Amino acid sequence: FFSIELLTTRGLILYMVLFVMDSETRNVQIAGIHTNPNGDWMKQVARNLTDSEEGFLRGKRFLILDRDPLFTKAFKAILKDGGVTAVPTAVAAPKMNAHAERFVRAVKYEGLNKLILTNEAQLRYVLDEYLDYYHHERIHKGLGRIIEPRAEFGAVSGEIVCVERLGGLLKSYHRKAG
């Protein structure tokens, strides 16, 4: 989870964003956004993640979790039924899940902290745009490459184009493929 405050007509509202990451590929998916996540919502998220056809955890054996109380026994049982073992991090050990911590820092620093969002639809839009940038345009130093480069980019020579997202907040530069 990470949290983000939105400035709404009812005042500041805290939203919790649940995401999952494949630590090998660094691929990230938003598993859910909620103002008040509870056990029932978390059980549905677990069912979605372990879905045999479209679940993010399909084919995965482990899920590293922090010690948030929302990761209940029922949540972990659904994961187990889907063939995924929940592995809790040690207490006060953020380096045990360093890739996830780095993603949270990046999404907040590069995007969310520079915007004043006023509703959940805006938050979802910004996260969708950021994830598209994160997966297809952003260089990942740990990997030494883009996670899933777009076919239209990647030429060795040729015209350099600037791809802008979120009104120019996110920019990337690529060579157009011939």
Per-position pLDDT tens, the chain of length 178:
999 999 999 999 999 999 999 988 999 999 999 999 999 999 999 999 999 889 999 999 999 998 889 999 999 999 999 999 999 998 888 788 888 999 999 999 999 999 999 999 999 999 999 999 999 999 888 888 888 988 888 777 888 889 999 999 999 998 887 6
**CA–CA gap between residue 133 and residue 124 (Å, rounded):** 14
Q: Reduced to 3 states, what is the DSSP secondary structure of residue 123?
A: helix
Other CB atoms within a 10 A radius of the CB of residue 169 amount to 15
**CA–CA gap between residue 119 and residue 132 (Å, rounded):** 20
The pTM for the full model equals 0.90
Q: Comparing C-alpha atoms, which of 137, 135, 172 is closest to residue 26?
A: 135
- Report which DSSP code applies to 147: S
Whole-number pLDDT of residue 84: 94
Whole-number pLDDT of residue 178: 66
